[in-house]
Amino acid sequence: LAVVFFLALTVEWLSHCNILRPETASNRRGAAAAIGVMQTVLYAVRIGLAYLVMLAVMSFNAGVFLVAIAGHGVGFFLFGSRAFNKQNHSSGKTSDLPPMNC
């Protein structure tokens, strides 16, 4: 159950993180390509972890389901809500990765 909780927490962290700093990179194509590759790797890791949480929930175990919801909820509270958010939202960009919208 702890693993499922931390997987869900990690998915939320990756959904709201700003690891890459494009303003520090130069305007060369190589730097832009490197940032693009890193975004792709982060996106693949986030989607892979989200699928692992989904597979755990599909075990139809109520405890796993509740822990997955708790992990996503705590992750959003820590990384996505305004309670601990210290970023400046004037730029409009809140994450390195695109949102997980349907």
Of the candidate ranges 12-16, 28-32, 40-44, 45-49, the one whose mean pLDDT is the lowest = 28-32
What does pTM read for this prediction?
0.76
Does any domain span residue 49? yes
Instruction: Please report whether residue 91 resides in a domain.
Output: no
| Residue 50 domain-assigned (yes or no) | yes
Share of the chain above pLDDT 70, in %: 73
* 63 within a domain of the structure (yes/no): yes
Query: What's the domain range around 66?
Result: 1-9+37-71
Mean pLDDT, range 75-97, rounded to an integer: 69
Please indicate, yes or no, if residue 19 is contained in any of the structural domains: no
Q: In this structure, is residue 55 part of a structural domain?
A: yes
Is residue 63 within 8 A of residue 3, CB to CB? The reply is no
Is 52 a member of any domain?
yes
DSSP notation for 30-69: HHHHHHHHHHHHHHHHHHHHHHHHHHHHTT--HHHHHHHH
The per-residue pLDDT for range 21-42, each reduced to its tens digit, is: 655 555 666 777 788 888 899 9
Number of domains in the chain: 1
Q: Is the residue at 45 inside a domain?
A: yes
For residue range 58-71, list pLDDT tens digits in order.
Answer: 999 999 999 999 99
Angle at 22 between CA 24 and CA 7, to 5 degrees: 120
CA distance 43 to 12: 12
Of the pLDDT bands very low, low, confident and very high (cuts 50, 70, 90), residue 83 is: confident
